[in-house]
Chain A
Amino acid sequence: MPDITSRPAMGADQVPGQADDYLAAARRFKLRRLWGLIALCAMLLVPLVTIYAEGWWRLTGGSSSAGAAWVLVGIGVVVAAIAAVLVDMFYRREL
């Protein structure tokens, strides 16, 4: 059995190759998460556009409702959700 204690210890200021491999995998995973979220957001937009086109938003309307505004709010929801992943990719771009 090899004597592992005879190996030189890794210095605190050394960056092993495994760390770079891990960081590359993390970057790839963030990109996949972005695609997954885009697919989910597209699924949300389909019924929102259908509701808007068919005028079905009237079903929810009260006397003081803002008409079809809630359907348009859905676009903002999609933008905010995707922005979160983009902020992550930019803020932690070195990771």
Chain B
Amino acid sequence: MSTGMVERPLTERSRIADGKKTRMGMIYAMLAGPALGLALGLLSTLVSKPPFSLQQPTGAFAIVALLQVPFGVLGIGVFLLVSGTWRDAGRLIGHPVSWWNLFVSVGGFVGDLCYAVSAALIGGALAGPIGGLFGVVGAIITSILYREKILRWSTLAGLIGLGIGIWVVLSGGKVVSPTHGVYELVGIIVIIVALLTWGFENFAITAGTDLMPAEGFIWWRAFLELVIANVLMFAFFPVARTMAGRVWTDPRLITYGAVIGFGWAIWIIMGYYIGIAYAGGVRGGVLAGTFGFFFIGFFSITVYGVPFSPAIIIGSAVMFAGAAFIVSEPGAYLARKRG
């Protein structure tokens, strides 16, 4: 430790540390985005192929419950074991604060399911842009319920830039729904429900990580999603049993599942939970959400075979400009996230 740091007043050291921690949380959220792009981009590609194409939206449900979440739970578990944070997860058993886990888990699961159902009804081209806005919705909810500062001009300009950018990128100029009429309306309502549940999950992570380390309840969130998703799927969707049999006897699909699950685990640990724990629901949540969804769209057009669109470039520029407004805010302002 440098002599200068020792001589610096404790209160000033604390303020500088808080500012740096907030900025670092935003960097975590952004750099973890490619992991979600790799994982859910691959998931989106596979969901229209056998055996998941046997029935929709059951197929979308099955790929989440059978591949994404099981491997995600395994990946998060290994991370906790190696980093030593498994003790924090163990401490939650029997503790009143563990109710937060259930709230976060159910909220996240409902959002995941709604997204899959909506994508089957109105297509990923429309569900994606709306779903990608969950970070902005979460920021608004957190600012209202948790008094996180949002009214600085740079924060508002950044949020607007991120919102417009993610919409343009993910729609790619081709907002086309495969269904129309009542089905299309239901699909839009369902994705709005996803927006709200993910937004409240942002808030729950913000409040929960004020009480415990992010790593302390992240495994429980994924594990509870695994249990709830599989119980619901096997109980109410008989076709899923056929899908499960074919998935678990095909080494290719199991290997693909490992990529989806481990990639999702990297994003949810580094970008979502640590990002929000460090930077709050407004800055960490919005950057984790928008950059994660951005990379799903970006990888889809560059490596997963979705046709290229100039809208991707325009939207990306707007989105990155919006992120720059928020990330570069003064350290003194970032040090006091809440009013």
Known contacts A70-B38, A87-B24, A94-B2; decide if A40 and B10 are in contact (CB<8 Å): no
Report if B95 contacts A (CB, 8 A): no
CA distance A43 to B307 in the complex (A): 31
CA distance A12 to B155 in the complex (A): 32
**Nearest CB on B from A78, distance (A):** 8
Asked if B303 and A66 sit within 8 Å, CB to CB, the answer is: yes
A13 contacts across to B, CB distance below 8 A: 7, 9-10
**Nearest CB on A from B1, distance (A):** 6
Chain A CB within 10 Å, residue with most, of B32, B84, B262 = B262
Main secondary structure of the interface of B (DSSP, over half): helix
Chain A CB within 10 Å, residue with most, of B17, B27, B269, B304 = B304
* Cross-interface CB contact of A44 among B33, B259, B270, cutoff 8 Å: B259
How many of chain B's residues touch chain A, expressed as a range? 35 or more
Chain B 236-264, CB-CB to A under 8 Å as 1, else 0, gives 00000000000000001001101100110
Asked if B266 and A40 sit within 8 Å, CB to CB, the answer is: yes
* Cross-interface CB contact of A94 among B5, B10, B23, cutoff 8 Å: B5
CA distance A43 to B257 in the complex (A): 12
A60 contacts across to B, CB distance below 8 A: 42, 45-46, 304-305
Known contacts A35-B83, A40-B78, A51-B255; decide if A84 and B31 are in contact (CB<8 Å): yes
* Cross-interface CB contact of A84 among B1, B2, B20, B270, cutoff 8 Å: B270
CA distance A88 to B22 in the complex (A): 11
Asked if B79 and A81 sit within 8 Å, CB to CB, the answer is: no
CA distance A4 to B307 in the complex (A): 72
CA distance A63 to B304 in the complex (A): 10
Known contacts A70-B42, A77-B266, A95-B17; decide if A84 and B303 are in contact (CB<8 Å): no
Asked if B11 and A77 sit within 8 Å, CB to CB, the answer is: no
Report if B13 contacts A (CB, 8 A): yes
Asked if B305 and A40 sit within 8 Å, CB to CB, the answer is: no
A35 contacts across to B, CB distance below 8 A: 82-83
CA distance A41 to B20 in the complex (A): 26
B325 contacts across to A, CB distance below 8 A: none
A70 contacts across to B, CB distance below 8 A: 38, 41-42, 299, 303-304
Known contacts A40-B79, A43-B262; decide if A83 and B31 are in contact (CB<8 Å): yes
Residue of B nearest to A20 (CB): B1
Asked if A56 and B252 sit within 8 Å, CB to CB, the answer is: yes
Asked if B259 and A48 sit within 8 Å, CB to CB, the answer is: yes
Chain B 17-54, CB-CB to A under 8 Å as 1, else 0, gives 10011011001100111110110011001100100000
CA distance A16 to B11 in the complex (A): 12
Residue of B nearest to A39 (CB): B82
> Which residues 271-320 of B have a CB within 8 angstroms of A?
299, 302-307
B252 contacts across to A, CB distance below 8 A: 51, 54, 56, 59
A74 contacts across to B, CB distance below 8 A: 38, 259, 263
A–B Cβ pairs within 8 angstroms, 15 of them: A12-B9, A32-B82, A44-B266, A46-B258, A62-B45, A65-B304, A73-B34, A76-B34, A77-B34, A77-B35, A77-B266, A80-B35, A81-B31, A84-B31, A88-B28
> Could you list which residues of chain A lie within 8 angstroms of chain B, going by C-beta atoms?
12-16, 19-20, 23, 29, 32-33, 35-37, 39-41, 43-44, 46-48, 50-51, 54, 56, 59-66, 69-70, 73-74, 76-77, 80-81, 83-85, 87-88, 91-92, 94-95
> Could you list which residues of chain B lie within 8 angstroms of chain A, going by C-beta atoms?
1-2, 5-7, 9-11, 13, 17, 20-21, 23-24, 27-28, 31-35, 37-38, 41-42, 45-46, 49, 75, 78-85, 252, 255-256, 258-259, 262-263, 265-266, 269-270, 299, 302-307
